Amino acid sequence: MIHFPREALAQELVAALRGQVVFGDAHNGLFLAAPRRTGKSTFLQADLKPALEAAGVVVAYVDLWADPRRDPGDLIADAIARALVPHQSLVSRTAKRAGLDSVTIAGALKIDVSKIGKIDGVTLPDALRALHEAAQAPVALIVDEAQHALTSEAGEATMSALKSARDQLNRPGEVNLMLVMSGSDRDKLLRLVNTYGSPFYGSQITRMPPLGQDFVDHVARLITAQRPELAPVDTGLLMQAFERFGQRPQFFMEALGQSLSPLADLTGRFEQAVVDAASRRQVDDEAQMESEFLALRPLERAVLWRLLEQGPRFRPYDGEALHFYREKTGAPVTVAKAQNALKSLRERTPALAWKSARGEYAVDDAAMHRWYEQLVQTGRWPPEDAQGDLALTDGDDA
Ligand SMILES: Nc1ncnc2c1ncn2[C@@H]1O[C@H](COP(=O)(O)OP(=O)(O)O)[C@@H](O)[C@H]1O
Ligand SMILES: [Mg+2]
């Protein structure tokens, strides 16, 4: 698997995080949104983390999706503890030599020498301060898929704790704690910053630039290096394919691999084969969403429809919503029934709806909005069962 390095973007963000950009606000927290599978986690781990480290910053990285059932606060504490390991060896060696079981860093963090990498019973601000003092360096905490913290009260409390750590550790002109939060859905990430009670009220969400022509050109150079007989590669056509794949490198690379395989039975150029694969993928993606939608029970469909239609204005149980459900399912709908339907949308795998600790809802995958808009615009909404539309009114929503 090739990795296309994104150094310039990483450098730009490092400068912003260190407060070196005159009008920037990133030193208060950098919020990056980009759709799923477009390379966020890869960029954060393979480009941003090393760039920060090269600038003398200690980095803790955590992906809140890695284990969605665990308390985000615990996941973050683990990441901080892991980042502490290289710096505590000196401390703990000294402790061992003196015959102590534990040492205390920064008057706050007690480290049990037998359990290196564990943080027990300290608050996140204390743990971050301890890391900062043990490493004698600024600390960056990268929280990937941060919107996941908003689905529980423990997670919300964690976000407030991080904000308070930032306020304690940073001073004008001196950034000791940098916070980077990424998410696959701008609307969900927005809830960290957009209302007065939000933990990072007032911060901006930046759209992380997707991989583009420079990535495609890089891939084209690799192809010509390995297969000179294919030069010149039509990078314009490859870019078209990459865009059609939704700028998701994995699918693009798979299609390239197949088209370039000696077993591929191509009559024309491989670039066109990749474009064709991208078109097939688009059709498949839409078919997938359609079949998920059609597999829902009537009331679940009506609730999802309402959620897609209303976006951030969605109120699941107000009079208008209940009227909408009734109109679509042909039967009266109680709040309790609507609640059950919404719950089952959230509990499906993959989940179709997302709920924050404050009771706000969103579709789980932002791509569904694009799919919905497209069908509405072309007059194809709602999708219908092959047998006709009967299932929508069978009233089976118990
Ligand atoms: N800079 C890159 N160069 C090559 N492949 C990449 C790059 N960034 C991402 N990918 C590939 O794209 C896929 C999705 O990337 P990932 O970082 O997991 O996306 P996200 O976190 O946005 O969902 C992975 O298979 C990864 O290998
Ligand atoms: Mg990711």
Helices H, strands E: what count in the chain?
15, 9
Q: Mutual orientation of helices 213-226 and 235-244 as an angle, nearest 10°?
A: 120
From 9, 37, 364, mutation site for ligand 1 pocket: most ligand atoms within 8 A of C-beta:
37
Which position has the higher pLDDT, 397 or 251?
Answer: 251
CA of 26 to the centre of ligand 2 (A): 21
Is the pLDDT at 102 greater than 70, yes or no? no
Ligand 1 nearest atom to the CA of residue 211, by list position: 1
Q: Are 201 and 194 in contact (CB under 8 A)?
A: yes
**Paired tokens of 274:** 């990749």
Q: Which of the four pLDDT bands, split at 50, 70 and 90, describes residue 116?
A: very low
**Which of 27-31, 51-55, 106-110, 215-219 is the least confident region?**
106-110
> What is the rounded average pLDDT of the residues 385-390?
62
C-beta separation of 281 from 251 below 8 A: yes
Confidence of residue 385 (pLDDT cuts 50, 70, 90): confident
> Is there an atom of ligand 1 within 6 Å of 298 CB?
no
pLDDT at 395: 47
The rounded distance, in Å, linking the Cα atoms of 54 and 267 is 48
**Is the minimum distance from the CB of 374 to ligand 1 under 6 angstroms?**
no
Q: What's the CA gap between 144 and 155, in Å, rounded?
A: 13
Residue 187: the pLDDT is 86
| Residue bearing the CA closest to ligand 1, atom 16 | 39
Q: Ligand 1, residue 6: give the atom nearest the CA.
A: 1
The mean pLDDT value for 34-46 works out to 96
* Residue 316 CA, ligand 2 centroid: distance in Å: 29
Q: Is the CB of 37 under 6 A from ligand 1?
A: yes
| Position 148 pLDDT exceeds 70 | yes
Report the DSSP beta bridge partners of residue 62. 143
**Does 206 score more than 70 pLDDT?**
yes
Query: Which of 42, 49, 222 best tests ligand 1's pocket when mutated (most atoms within 8 Å of CB)?
Result: 42
Give nearest CA residue, ligand 1 atom 14: 37
- Element holding 73 (H helix, E strand): helix 72-97
Q: What angle do CA 374, 377, 382 make, to 5 degrees?
A: 75
Q: Is the pLDDT of residue 174 over 70?
A: yes
pLDDT for position 97? 60
Question: What is the secondary structure of 217-244 as a DSSP string?
Answer: HHHHHHHHHH-GGGPSP-HHHHHHHHHH
Find the range with the poorest average confidence among 71-85, 112-126, 347-361: 112-126
Maximum Cα–Cα distance across the chain: 79
Average pLDDT for the chain: 89
Measure 99 CA to ligand 2 centroid, in angstroms: 43
Residue in 299, 357, 304 with CA at minimum distance from that of residue 332? 299
Distance of CA 286 to the CA centre of its chain: 21
Q: Which of 83-97, 192-206, 226-240 has the highest mean pLDDT?
A: 226-240
The CATH number given to 295-393 is 1.10.10
**147 exposure class (CB count in 10 Å sphere: 0-12, 13-18, 19+):** buried
Reference 292, options 348, 373, 339; nearest CA is: 348
Structural Rg of the chain based on CA atoms: 25
How many angstroms separate the Cα of 52 from the Cα of each of 15, 162, 245?
9, 19, 31
Is the beta carbon of 7 within 6 A of some atom in ligand 1? no
Report which protein residue has its CA nearest ligand 1's atom 4: 3
Q: Does domain 7-207 have CATH number 3.90.380.10?
A: no
User: Residue 354 and residue 360: Cα distance in Å, rounded?
Assistant: 8
Q: Which residues are 105's β-sheet partners?
A: 109
Q: Does 29 sit in the ligand 1 pocket, CB within 6 Å?
A: no
What residue segments make up the domains of the chain, in order of their start? 7-207, 213-290, 295-393
- Per DSSP (E only), the strands in the chain are 30-33, 58-63, 102-105, 109-112, 139-144, 177-183, 205-207, 353-355, 361-363
Between CA 332 and CA 17 the distance in angstroms is 53
Give me ligand 1 centre to Cα 45, in Å: 10
Question: What is the CA(61)–ligand 2 centre distance, in A?
Answer: 12
Residue 2 in contact with ligand 1 by CB distance below 6 A? yes
Indicate the pLDDT class of residue 101, thresholds 50, 70 and 90: low
Specify the DSSP class assigned to residue 174: B
Q: What is the pLDDT of residues 249-269, one digit of tens each?
A: 999 999 999 999 988 888 899
What is the structure's pLDDT at 113? 45
Give the pTM: 0.87
The confidence band for 46, taking pLDDT boundaries of 50, 70 and 90, is very high
Beta bridge partners of 180: 30, 142
Ligand 1 pocket, residue 269 CB under 6 Å: no
On the question of pLDDT at 195 being above 70, the answer is yes
Which ligand lies nearest the alpha carbon of 63? Answer: 2
Q: What are the b/e assignments for 283-307, b being 16+ CB within 10 Å?
A: eebbeebbeebeebbbbbbbbbbbb
pLDDT of residue 196: 82
Over range 347-372, report the average pLDDT. 91
Per-residue pLDDT at 218:
97
Is the peptide bond prior to 316 cis by the omega test (within 30 degrees of 0)?
Answer: no
- The residue type found at 384 is E
pLDDT at residue 23, rounded to an integer: 78
